Structure 1
Amino acid sequence: MSVPLDDLAAPAPARASSRRLPLPLSPGRAARRAAVVLPLLAVGAWAAADWRAFRDGAARLASADPAWLLAAGGFTCLGWVAAACVRQGAVPDRLPPGLLLASQFAAGAANHVLPASVGAHAVTLRFLRRQGVPLHRATASLALYSLVKPLAKTPVLLAVLLVFPDVLRLGALLPDRRTLLLAGGCVVLCPVAAVLVVALVRPLRGPVRSFLRTAMTDVRRLHRRPARVLALWGGAAVAPLLQAGVVASVGTAFGLPLTWAQVTFAFLAAGTAMGAVPAPGGIGPVDAALLFGLVGYGAPMALATATVIGYRVLTVWVPLLPGAVVLSVLVQRGAL
């Protein structure tokens, strides 16, 4: 039986037409793929720009006591747990503990790339939204978190002074009068400027009133629940003590001739004085203030510098790449 030539030629175009052509990449998928890769690219760019500091810090840590460095690493890990507790305490909804802790670990990497905690807040906001928290309530929780952290640090400072009154050396640690006046003026003028902007710009009044109503409602709900109060205020009070424990452990590993109370007060004072400066993760201003405080207590400049660099290596550089990987994985799996 003969087959017409037209029939033999027919399957070829049919097979060609049956092949599935690649679908165009949607904007949402493209943004998600970019979000997966961008944290790793940011880490690589920062590593290339500041590789010398990391290399010198790692070389210094190689000569330190490994047992105390291990203790410093433990304090660093507990700091992420404390941050997760504060985040949970700032929102009435129950969040999955494992994902919450992973999001804070990833937020730490983002926080060290962008200034003024913008990176950490952006990651947390996205995480809350993916957990079903409405945008206005998620934003209110970020504002509560930002307010509670400095407020909780004040009683911690006072407690350190009451228990260890000898740690306060006004002549060595406090800045000069001009710096104090400048800081005080900023503290007073910033809220006044914010109120004036809201009062003068009419379109802002409605959203601000709605935001304040939501924030106050959530604050009342949270403070009726003892578990949330403990997580919010307890975590915010413990977090700076854990960070000070990292500094003190690194200092002990290097043989820094200061007590833990002195190092703790120097760290708390440095964070209070310079924490408002919008540097990525507080790097720079807080480091300078901490170095100034340690030297003011009588520590040798070389040991104080090694302590500050070692603290930054353990809290920034060592977790940075794993944090960026976790951030990319969370984005890929849709948790962020």
Structure 2
Amino acid sequence: MSLLPLPAPAAAPSPDRLARGVRLLLTVLPLLLIGGWLVADRRSLYDGAGRLAAAHPGWLLSGIVLTCLTWVASAVVRQGAIPERMPPLLLLASQFAAGAANHVFPASIGAHAVTLRFLQGQGVPLPRAAASLALYSLVRPVAKVFVLLGLVLAAPELLRPSDLLPHSGTLLPAAAGAAAVLAVVALLLTLVRRLRQGCLGFLRTALTDARRLHTMPSRVLALWGGAAATPLVQAGVVASVGSSLGLPLSWPQMVFAFLAASTAVGAVPAPGGIGPVDAATVFTMVALGAPLGQATATVIGYRVLTVWLPLVPGLLTLSALVHRKLL
């Protein structure tokens, strides 16, 4: 009796075929995210669009122009954080796509992931690309604090100097939390040798690149100038929307409200800062004398201009960059 032949084992998918499948998934994923976000947050989009429809068109146009300048400022800072010269238009496109990804994942994970892949695609080694992201993440909040302090000094009527000092009830918990984090990090670095070696290597790379960048005047100007301009441009969008809706606050007051709110709660890991920054901005505007309804409408309008309008083209740009193997 003859034995039936055994079926041949299924061939494993080739690496090229697997890579094509992953790339196709990454190309389609942004479109799926668009649909999910439209379903989840459709009420905010509808309310914001309805309020903006009755707003002053000239101020709205100003807000749209300033929104576009936020991507330019972000690209300038990214260029300032890396010694190699990046292709300007591709770098700007990557930051447009990164802005859309930033509104999907918390703590700027989406924007950093897009930028990291872009830098690697331009031939920057992974350790140096990661060091560039770390420098970018460090410089931006430092520059924002200096911009906020400069605004307070230029317009002292916005805030009394005593208001800048933390209350005793919040200082002790904050200091205890910082000390606990530092203690845990020090313990991990002491006990885990591989982690300690990796961190030391990363720090050496980051410090080397930072020293090199600060010997290049063009990079220093791009890094620190762009980092200082970014929050001012973002605050300008808020002030433009507020002016279009007749918010009874001056431009310095609206700029201060956004800068103070985003500085105070910007570290909360929400996608694009949506939620904590919005609530803090509304609270600060009300404290400065704005009606609650108009302050809320201003923040909603700001999110429509900076999140909803560029979301679809931004994610489509992300898909195109992935499809062209630039990410």
For 1:30-49, list aligned pairs within 5 A.
30-49=21-40
In the TM superposition, what is the alpha-carbon distance from 1:191 to its structure 2 partner?
3.9
Counterparts of 1:181 and 1:63, CA distance in 2: 47
Unaligned runs of 5+ in 2: 1-12
Match for 2:208: what amino acid? Answer: T
For 1:303-318, list aligned pairs within 5 A.
303-318=294-309
Distance 1:172 1:210, change over 3 A: closer
1:28 matched to 2:26: no
Counterparts of 1:162 and 1:129, CA distance in 2: 42
In the TM superposition, what is the alpha-carbon distance from 1:179 to its structure 2 partner?
4.6
Aligned to 1:199: 190
Aligned to 2:154: 163
Aligned to 2:55: 64
Counterparts of 2:105 and 2:216, CA distance in 1: 34
Aligned to 1:228: 219
Match for 1:238: what amino acid? Answer: A
Aligned to 2:93: 102
Match of 1:86 among 55, 77, 83: 77
Match of 2:112 among 118, 121, 126: 121
In the TM superposition, what is the alpha-carbon distance from 1:162 to its structure 2 partner?
1.0
Counterparts of 1:31 and 1:52, CA distance in 2: 33
In the TM superposition, what is the alpha-carbon distance from 1:186 to its structure 2 partner?
3.9
Aligned residues: 314
Counterparts of 1:188 and 1:256, CA distance in 2: 42
Counterparts of 1:55 and 1:171, CA distance in 2: 41
Greater mean deviation of Cα atoms: 178-187 or 298-307: 178-187
| C-alpha contact (below 8 Å) 1:173/1:293 kept by paired residues | no
In the TM superposition, what is the alpha-carbon distance from 1:176 to its structure 2 partner?
6.4
In the TM superposition, what is the alpha-carbon distance from 1:200 to its structure 2 partner?
2.3
Counterparts of 2:263 and 2:160, CA distance in 1: 16
Distance 1:213 1:151, change over 3 A: same
1:111 matched to 2:102: yes
Deviations 1:78-109 (A, max 9, x none): 11000001100111111000000000000001
Match of 2:138 among 130, 147, 152: 147
In the TM superposition, what is the alpha-carbon distance from 1:155 to its structure 2 partner?
1.2
Match for 1:71: what amino acid? Answer: S
In the TM superposition, what is the alpha-carbon distance from 1:288 to its structure 2 partner?
0.5
Counterparts of 1:187 and 1:161, CA distance in 2: 27
Secondary structure, aligned partner of 1:26: helix
Match of 2:205 among 214, 223, 236: 214
In the TM superposition, what is the alpha-carbon distance from 1:264 to its structure 2 partner?
1.1
In the TM superposition, what is the alpha-carbon distance from 1:304 to its structure 2 partner?
0.3
Deviations 1:134-188 (A, max 9, x none): 0000000001110101111121111101110001158999986545544454445
Q: CA RMSD in A?
A: 1.9
Aligned to 2:277: 286
Secondary structure, aligned partner of 2:111: helix
| C-alpha contact (below 8 Å) 1:80/1:105 kept by paired residues | yes
In the TM superposition, what is the alpha-carbon distance from 1:189 to its structure 2 partner?
3.9
Unaligned runs of 5+ in 1: 1-22
Counterparts of 2:163 and 2:281, CA distance in 1: 12
> What TM-score comes out, normalization by structure 1 length?
0.89
1:259 matched to 2:250: yes
> What TM-score comes out, normalization by structure 2 length?
0.92
| C-alpha contact (below 8 Å) 1:90/1:142 kept by paired residues | yes
Counterparts of 2:320 and 2:86, CA distance in 1: 19
1:296 matched to 2:287: yes
Distance 1:261 1:91, change over 3 A: same
| C-alpha contact (below 8 Å) 1:172/1:297 kept by paired residues | no
Aligned to 1:335: 326
Distance 1:146 1:191, change over 3 A: farther
Aligned to 1:5: none
Residue identity over aligned pairs, in percent, reads: 63
Match for 1:46: what amino acid? Answer: W
In the TM superposition, what is the alpha-carbon distance from 1:299 to its structure 2 partner?
0.2
In the TM superposition, what is the alpha-carbon distance from 1:194 to its structure 2 partner?
2.4
In the TM superposition, what is the alpha-carbon distance from 1:295 to its structure 2 partner?
0.3
In the TM superposition, what is the alpha-carbon distance from 1:67 to its structure 2 partner?
0.5
Aligned to 1:246: 237
In the TM superposition, what is the alpha-carbon distance from 1:245 to its structure 2 partner?
0.2
Distance 1:175 1:301, change over 3 A: farther
Aligned to 1:322: 313
1:276 matched to 2:267: yes
Match for 1:210: what amino acid? Answer: G
